[in-house]
Structure 1
Amino acid sequence: MEHLIHEDLARAHVGARLREAQLTRREQQLVRAKRLSRRAERAAAQARLALARAL
């Protein structure tokens, strides 16, 4: 019986670690997407400025 309790605890711990890893990965993807978005916005602004200067 005690063996089963330890097994359940271990399974719960592994599940918690997996959810934590998935959350961290999702957060990192969001940070990366925001960074790329800001970079794209900056590039677009520079392109608009260059176009305005050329006209």
Structure 2
Amino acid sequence: MTGRRSTATQELQTLNQIFEWSTTMNLMSEELARAHMRSRLEQAQKERLGYNLAAARRLSRKAERAAAQARLALARVI
């Protein structure tokens, strides 16, 4: 009877180890997915920042051109 208990205990321990390993692997996969999504989010934010910076530069050049045209128009009137 002790042999059966020992075998049953060993089987339970083996099943517990498999379950723990499976849980650990799932958690590792989830953590990897979170890291991947975090990386993609950071990349998207940097791209948006770059786009906004480029748009601001375009608007600044446009404003400079408009100011120069206004100065020329004013100089013609005077």
The reply on whether 1:9 has 2:32 as its aligned counterpart is: yes
CA RMSD of aligned residues (A): 0.4
Tell me which residue corresponds to 1:43: 66
Sequence identity, in percent?
Answer: 58
The reply on whether 1:30 has 2:53 as its aligned counterpart is: yes
Q: Which has the larger radius of gyration?
A: 2
Size of the aligned set, in residue pairs, is: 55
Can you give the 5+ residue segments of structure 1 that lack an aligned partner in the other structure? none
* Distance of 1:7 and 1:52 partners within structure 2: 67
Can you give the 5+ residue segments of structure 2 that lack an aligned partner in the other structure? 1-23
Cα distance per residue 1:13-55 (max 9 Å; x no partner)? 0000000111111110000000000000000000000100111
Q: Secondary structure at the match of 1:9?
A: helix
* Distance of 1:2 and 1:9 partners within structure 2: 10
